[in-house]
Amino acid sequence: MTAPASGSKSAAVAWSVAASLAVALAGSWLWFLRTPPAPSLDQQQLRALAAQAANPHRPSTPAAAYQDEAVKPTIREHAAEIQKPWLAYLAGKPARSEGAVTLSWTIGADGRPTQVAVTHSDFEQAALNEGVRAALAAIVFPPPPAGQPLAVTHQLFFKQEPAAR
């Protein structure tokens, strides 16, 4: 862009406005080219991020790891005891043949469950819900990490298998 001849006052104003507008537009469009500063991470955070990236399915907290590595396997080991109330329920030929029971409890420092409660059930039969609750209350779990009581919520799924022919 070249400056107008010195004789035209309106052309000079127009050129000044155009030049100002060009500078403003260039400045406003350059913001996206700037890279924001990277957040500052300490070495421990970097190691944690690298470990999570290496194994994205690994639990992110000690409590989650304890549930995956101790609670779930212990429940599977005691599946036969937990299924006894379910089998008794099925013997009554109920209309509902599948569903879930959600339980919450606290695992004490010694691994014993306390405050075991059914927080949700797809089944209306109290005997089934109480039987599942009692079976879970009788299980001794591995002690939680750091010897601290840990609150747990777990959902158990039940489904009647088709009869073998």
Q: What is the DSSP string of the chain?
A: --PPPTT-HHHHHHHHHHHHHHHHHHHHHGGGGSPPPPPP--HHHHHHHHHHHH-TTS-SSHHHHHIIIIIHHHHHHTHHHHHHHHHHHHHT--S--EEEEEEEEEE-TTS-EEEEEEEEES---HHHHHHHHHHHHT--PPPPGGG--EEEEEEEEEEPPPPP-
Reply yes or no on domain 61-159 having CATH 3.30.2420.10. yes
Longest dimension (CA), the chain: 106
End-to-end CA distance of the chain: 90
| pLDDT, one tens digit for every residue, the chain (165 residues) | 555 555 566 666 666 656 665 555 555 444 444 545 555 656 665 566 666 566 555 556 778 888 888 899 999 999 999 999 999 999 998 888 899 999 999 999 999 999 999 999 999 999 999 999 999 999 999 999 888 999 999 999 999 887 755
14 contacts: CB under 8 Å, gap ≥ 6:
4
Give me the helix-helix angle, 126-137 and 79-91, nearest 10°: 170
Q: What are the residue ranges spanned by the domains of the chain? A: 61-159
What pLDDT score was predicted for residue 165? 54
pTM of the model: 0.62
